[in-house]
Structure 1
Amino acid sequence: MMNYHKLLEKVSEYALDYFKTQNSKSFIYHNKKHTEDVVNKTTEIANHYQVNPHDLAMVCSAAWFHDLGYFIDPDHHESQSALLAESFLRAKEVDESDILIIKNCIMATHMPQSPNSLLEKIICDADLYHLGTDDFLKKDKAMQQEYNDFHHPHLNKSEWRQKSIVFLQKHQYHTDYCQQLLDSSKQKNIEILKSKVGNALDKVVQPEHKLDENIAVADVTPATDRPKIKKNKDKAIDDKPEKGIETMFRISSSNHQRLSDMADKKAHIMITVNSIILSALISLVLRRLNEYEYLLIPTIILLGVSVAAMTFSILSTRPSIPNGVFSKDEVDNKTVNLLFFGNFYKMGLDDYNYGMLKMMDDKEFLYGSLIKDLYSQGVVLGKKYRLLRIAYSVFMFGLIVSVIAFIIAVTFFSTNKPTI
């Protein structure tokens, strides 16, 4: 069976050595630092979706390889990177199916991006993660310099900014994680670029200076159109708080859901472990206690610990459902949360439709319901983790006490000490 952790180590070593041997100062943006950033962001997004070790190795390997082709052919670097990956992975006897997954991930980063699988979406978003960060302007400047090193004629700042605005407006993140986390910041970067372009245009035409009538200023926006830019900018700024609020609700709800899944997994682990302990005690020890009477107290302690830990773990995952009914008065008074199924699952469709339409028409009712839903998730999470903490504490300390009790019983109270 392939050791994917070892494979990923070999891939990273190969990529880092490749950058050393192909050290080109022309690649100011597509360099080792960019690749390392993409690998880190790929890992971050993949961990959010809790991908298995195999898939993590596949997508991170693709991230290490995805830009190595720039040193061979910048205009077709994805296909060159895929060939480099294929050659290396075959030499390491990696399965053809895994090689295909890695190559598809690399090719998915080709512009315009069109990923199909979750892994392809992850690497695409990791590759352009910076578009929604505070580092965007710095990296965009490096990208312009690199572009001008390979293309003629060069693009000046204004031309490049307009090109960047168009790119940002057309771009979209493919994972809901990046959409929730980065979309609002990406919009902010668009507005910053627009303001810089607008300021540059203002500097080109100064009212106090006369322009030579024989000189034509190319690509200058007429003065009458400039207020429109400012108006759109102001509108976007006015929309930001609402978008920020919606993003906050999405991220918080997603985080609560992930924490709830983690709690359920922890409870499952505790239930499984204690089930095994109980089965072993019942089948091996309890039926022979008449032969080992000195083990009675340690056995009872361990039984009690296992039962208590299992009970608290089950309680942490035990669902509690409300009566599933609401009244029209509750809808009119905005006191019911229609976003939680427990409040409406016994209601008819017409009543539920009435409530939802009422909520969607009322911004205060809608946001109030979102707040209640978020709060309810937090309350449930608090209860889950409180019970889980009790279960793990009981198990940990109880196990220590049980082991000590067994040692004392065997050491001081055993006479013939027969073997079980």
Structure 2
Amino acid sequence: MHYREILDQLRTHVAQLFHSSCDERFIYHNLDHTEQVVENVVNIANHYQLSDQDFFIVVAASWFHDIGYLFDCGRHEAKGVDLAVAFLEEHNVDTDVVAKVKGCILATMMPQRPEGLLQQIVCDADLFHLGSSSFKERNKLMRKEVEAFSNHKIDKDDWNRKTISLFMAHHFHTEYCQTLLNSTKAINLARLEENLLNQPTVDIIKKEGKEKKNSKPERGVETMFRVTSTNHQRLSDMADNKAHIMISTNSIILSVILSLLLRKLEDNPHLIIPTLLLLIICVVTMVFSILATRPSIPKGIFTNEDIQEKRVNLLFFGNFYRMSLPEYENGMNKLMDDSDFLYGSLIKDIYSQGVVLGRKYRLLRVAYNVFMFGIVAAVLAFIIASFLVAM
């Protein structure tokens, strides 16, 4: 099944539906929101390294999860399911895959009760903004959309009360989103409660002052780190695959040499040098390929001094795997409370990935060069040896 091709057609199909059924009242539930949910799904799915089929299921569901608003706001999930099933069946997608896409869409119905990782991913991606810095802006858009469809102004306090109720009833389902979003979600909830009481707390004032001081485009920075880290991971996977190809290829050649050629060297002494040359080439290539994939793990320990001076990168397991859970929790709490420490750790993490990638690709280049030029030399050696004997 060519899932990538179907996803490309699916994306175009959904975009056309949004454009052809455009309603200016959809300030929140529009193509921009759907694309944002798809982006969230892709990021969560990449974290869990889903198979191609599971990746297709969650992405397809995210494209169709709110498309039903264009046709039936009251039962938009069911309408979205109908549109998704019609499209997928038209493209001959397996019935079990269609059923899972349907389940993921219906799981977004409030209150969310997802079953299994795939439905959890789609549900968390749909309400991802509750734990993000863009919540305030998204919440305003949602309120304006409801006002547009109801044709009356909604009291701000009443809206805040309903939103607080949503926060209290909601929880992120995947461990990834819980770790990534729960702290910001708590801040967003605190702000809603303080706005309702009209008594901003000292903590909120400090937080807002800190945000103004930093004045960083948080979403853009987070996207940059996420995309860069994902690209590095893909390059690392590519390097591992290339090394695996070299190891497998040369293992086969070595097996042939040891099982066939070595037995015939007594009767064909002129093949000794070409055979030894080929043997050395295969061994050297395998050694460099193995070196490219051989893991290197640090000592796995950090000290309080490392935390205070922000020298340790707690985002890499090699720096903490020998520490106790309370010590690691203490370090992570300090990391999350200090934006400079957090961004510094992300920078170190990406830099470390780049260093490892550089080493992998240098070794792989040596392995490929040895194999490429060596195999040519070996073949020429066999040809020359056979020619000399024939003379």
Same-fold call, TM cutoff 0.5: yes
1:110-150, Cα deviation, whole Å (9 max, x unpaired): 11111112111111111122222222222211111111122
1:306-331, Cα deviation, whole Å (9 max, x unpaired): 342365368x2599999xxxxxxxxx
Aligned-partner Cα distance in 1 for 2:325–2:180: 27
1:14-163 mapped onto 2 (5 Å cutoff):
14-151=13-150, 153-163=152-162
The structural deviation recorded for 1:161 is 2.8
Task: Mark the runs of 5 or more structure 2 residues left unpaired by the alignment.
Answer: 209-228, 301-319, 335-344
**Among 357, 365, 368, the residue aligned to 1:396:** 368
Cα pair distance change 1:169/1:24, threshold 3 Å: same
Counterpart contact for 2:40–2:125, Cα < 8 Å: yes
Residue 406 (structure 1) aligned with residue 382 (structure 2):
no
The structural deviation recorded for 1:405 is 1.9
Counterpart contact for 1:308–1:391, Cα < 8 Å: no
Aligned-partner Cα distance in 2 for 1:320–1:24: 56
Residue 230 of structure 1 corresponds to 201
Aligned-partner Cα distance in 2 for 1:232–1:313: 49
Aligned-partner Cα distance in 1 for 2:205–2:22: 45
Task: Mark the runs of 5 or more structure 1 residues left unpaired by the alignment.
Answer: 199-220, 238-254, 323-338, 344-354, 368-373
The structural deviation recorded for 1:169 is 3.5
Pick which of 168-177 and 19-28 moved more. Answer: 168-177
Cα pair distance change 1:142/1:279, threshold 3 Å: same
Cα pair distance change 1:106/1:356, threshold 3 Å: closer
Cα pair distance change 1:40/1:234, threshold 3 Å: closer
Q: Which amino acid aligns with 2:287?
A: A
The structural deviation recorded for 1:23 is 1.2
The structural deviation recorded for 1:38 is 1.4
Secondary structure in 2 matching 1:415 = helix
Q: Which amino acid aligns with 1:177?
A: Y
Residue 336 of structure 1 corresponds to none
Residue 5 (structure 1) aligned with residue 28 (structure 2):
no
1:133-175, Cα deviation, whole Å (9 max, x unpaired): 2222222111111111223653133332332233234322111
Q: Which amino acid aligns with 2:84?
A: A
Q: Which amino acid aligns with 1:399?
A: F
The structural deviation recorded for 1:6 is 2.2
**Among 238, 258, 274, the residue aligned to 1:295:** 274
Could you tell me the percent identity over the aligned residues?
33
Cα pair distance change 1:54/1:232, threshold 3 Å: same
Residue 333 of structure 1 corresponds to none
**Among 236, 240, 258, the residue aligned to 1:282:** 258
Q: Which amino acid aligns with 1:279?
A: S
Cα pair distance change 1:14/1:272, threshold 3 Å: same
Counterpart contact for 1:317–1:384, Cα < 8 Å: no
Task: Please identify the structure whose Cα radius of gyration is greater.
Answer: 1
Cα pair distance change 1:64/1:381, threshold 3 Å: closer
Counterpart contact for 1:305–1:394, Cα < 8 Å: no
The structural deviation recorded for 1:381 is 9.3
Aligned-partner Cα distance in 2 for 1:21–1:159: 34
Q: What is the RMSD computed on CA atoms of the aligned residues? A: 4.6
The structural deviation recorded for 1:415 is 1.5
Secondary structure in 1 matching 2:110 = coil
Q: Which amino acid aligns with 1:308?
A: V
Cα pair distance change 1:277/1:144, threshold 3 Å: farther
Aligned-partner Cα distance in 2 for 1:21–1:186: 35
The structural deviation recorded for 1:409 is 3.1
Cα pair distance change 1:146/1:288, threshold 3 Å: farther
The structural deviation recorded for 1:184 is 1.8
The structural deviation recorded for 1:270 is 5.6
Cα pair distance change 1:409/1:83, threshold 3 Å: same
The structural deviation recorded for 1:273 is 4.3
Residue 309 (structure 1) aligned with residue 288 (structure 2):
yes
Counterpart contact for 2:247–2:286, Cα < 8 Å: no
The structural deviation recorded for 1:35 is 1.1
Pick which of 173-182 and 155-164 moved more. Answer: 155-164
Residue 182 of structure 1 corresponds to 181
Q: Which amino acid aligns with 2:258?
A: I
Matched pairs, number:
342
Secondary structure in 1 matching 2:201 = helix
Q: Which amino acid aligns with 2:159?
A: W
Cα pair distance change 1:417/1:176, threshold 3 Å: farther
Aligned-partner Cα distance in 2 for 1:319–1:184: 30
Counterpart contact for 1:312–1:390, Cα < 8 Å: no
